[in-house]
Amino acid sequence: MPNEPAGADMVLISDEELEALAMAADPSAPLDPDAVAWTPHAGWTPDLLPDWYMPAPRTTRSGSWPGALVALIIVGFLVIDAFGLCITSGFLSFA
């Protein structure tokens, strides 16, 4: 579907028609049960902006382990400093 021409199974709507539909719509109306989710690349044509210029937004969650690891390292350095030790050279020694 990404490389289909604009006239293949698609109805082109002018900006004025789209604006009129949007202004006439009821914002509190429930969604149609047969509604299809909008996908940004469904009607892609070569004259639109390419993905490398403006890619679709993506979110990723790496979990909580990186934050826990950073916190553990910081707490470790604070404990070393609290006991008056030095680890600057890579070896634990008295300061």
The number of residues making up the chain comes to 95
**59 belongs to a structural domain:** yes
pLDDT digit string, tens, across residues 25-75: 998 989 888 887 766 666 655 556 666 677 666 767 667 888 899 999 999
Domains held by the chain: number: 1
CA torsion 12-18-38-27 (nearest 10°) is -160
Residue 78 lies in a domain: yes
In a domain, 76, yes or no: yes
Q: How far is CA 50 from CA 47, 53, 79, in A?
A: 8, 5, 52
Is residue 8 one of the residues assigned to a domain? Answer: no
Which residue do the tokens 């790496």 mark? 62
Domain annotation covers residue 3: no
pLDDT of 16 higher than 90: yes
In a domain, 33, yes or no: yes
Report if residue 9 sits inside a domain: no
- 4 within domain boundaries: no
Number of other residues whose CB lies within 10 A of the CB of residue 44:
16
Which pLDDT score, from 0 to 100, does residue 69 have?
Answer: 92
For 64, the domain range is: 15-94
